[in-house]
Amino acid sequence: MKASEAQALTIGIDLGGTKIAAALVDSGGRILASARKPTRPEKGPEAIVADIATLSASVSAQAEGRPIIGVGVGVAGQVDPATGAVFSAPNLRWKNFPFQEHLETALHKPVSVLNDVQSATFAEWIHGAGRGVADLVCIFAGTGVGGGVVAQGQLVRGAAGSAGEVGHMTVSLAGPLCRCGNHGCVEAFAGGWAIAKRAQEAIRADPDAGAVLLRLAGGDIQRVTAAIVARALNRADPLAKSIVKETGEALGAGAASIVNGFNPALLILGGGVVEGLPELVGIVEETIRRRALPAAAERLKIVRPQLGTHAGAIGAATWVRIGLPPRPFLPS
């Protein structure tokens, strides 16, 4: 890297359904300045483009004269890898919005748009827990379950920009209904919303068994969340234990499918649900060892992410700096 390139900065934007986070990032993935705003999807996509311009200006003002060579944006939606248009972003209520084009007009800088979880995966690969590994998979279990894949030294974006949707792999043909409309997805077991829902159903089915969970939620079954399950688990509550075991086994079965399908050397397992229920990591690991093919599982390492909630913005900033376009090898 030339000295001037090393000096240059990029801006990373993490655009989610509830907030827009901006970060001024250096070549080492370090955040030099940050800013955020609530997302206002009801104002339409142009208002979000304007908000991103405001946030970019705000962090740019802290560049201390260093050049800013581009803006990367990670968005919670499916992004066309060829154009940076957003096919679909349900949380933002967008369909087929030429996002990258609008951003370039507003920002007067090179812009790259990619999916937010792919962006976080890219960050963990280049600057986090996956440094130097050519084949890895990230799984982030939070309210939803998302993921990203690096295969043979390339971030896999997919034909329609939606590669890595590991939360919507089916692990139980007739399993619980998922938010996506499918049944038995990993997310329908391991998403924060699904843990809460299954806990509430279990309490209704057997109030005696659910007594500890209900008490921790102040007697209000609607307030039984994944966090309440974590608290009950700390008190060795048998129902919480069984819910966490089922959650880990479903997440582990999904992870085993990924391990068999992609054969990564590294699985990076994180997200709010995993932070809150660290017991899941052991169950997932044990389930992978039991379910995945030995050849794939033997050489697999499982680690936690290193960049936390800033991964999306760091990844987007890093993507616009060094993210290479796919290089298809298509002989004539």
Note the residues at the interface with its own copies (CB under 8 A).
Answer: 78, 87-88, 126, 132, 134-135, 147, 149, 151-154, 156-166, 168-173, 175, 180, 182-184, 249-250, 253-254, 256-258, 260-265, 290-296, 298-300, 322, 324, 326-331
Between 126 and 216, name the residue whose CB sits nearer to its own copies.
Answer: 126
Question: Cβ contacts of residue 180 below 8 Å, gap of 6+?
Answer: 168, 187
Q: What are phi and psi of 137, to 5 degrees?
A: -130, 135
Between 34 and 162, name the residue whose CB sits nearer to its own copies.
Answer: 162
Between 18 and 332, name the residue whose CB sits nearer to its own copies.
Answer: 332
Q: Which two tokens stand for residue 5?
A: 């390139």
Q: Closest separation between CB of residue 122 and its own copies, Å?
A: 11
**Alpha-carbon dihedral 302, 307, 311, 315, rounded to 10 degrees:** -90
Between 144 and 216, name the residue whose CB sits nearer to its own copies.
Answer: 144
Between 225 and 257, name the residue whose CB sits nearer to its own copies.
Answer: 257
Answer whether 298's CB lies under 8 Å from 154's CB.
no
β pairing state of 136-141 and 31-38:
unpaired
Q: Closest separation between CB of residue 214 and its own copies, Å?
A: 27
Q: Closest separation between CB of residue 169 and its own copies, Å?
A: 4
**Alpha-carbon dihedral 145, 97, 107, 22, rounded to 10 degrees:** -20
Dist CA 22 CA 1 (whole Å): 25
Answer whether 84's CB lies under 8 Å from 158's CB.
no
Q: Closest separation between CB of residue 155 and its own copies, Å?
A: 9
Q: SS3 for 112-139, per residue? A: EEEEHHHHHHHHHHHHCCCCCCCCEEEE
Q: Closest separation between CB of residue 133 and its own copies, Å?
A: 8
Give the single-character DSSP code of 9: E
How many CB atoms are located within 10 Å of the residue 30 CB? Answer: 12
Q: Closest separation between CB of residue 168 and its own copies, Å?
A: 5
Between 221 and 265, name the residue whose CB sits nearer to its own copies.
Answer: 265
Q: Closest separation between CB of residue 212 and its own copies, Å?
A: 26
Dist CA 300 CA 63 (whole Å): 41
Q: Which residues of 198-212 are buried (b: 16+ CB within 10 A; e: fewer)?
A: bbbebbeeeeeebeb
Q: Closest separation between CB of residue 262 and its own copies, Å?
A: 6
User: 3-state class of 307 per DSSP?
Assistant: coil
Distances (CA, A) of 76 to 102, 117, 125, 165, 194: 17, 7, 19, 12, 20
Q: Closest separation between CB of residue 75 and its own copies, Å?
A: 13
Between 58 and 306, name the residue whose CB sits nearer to its own copies.
Answer: 306
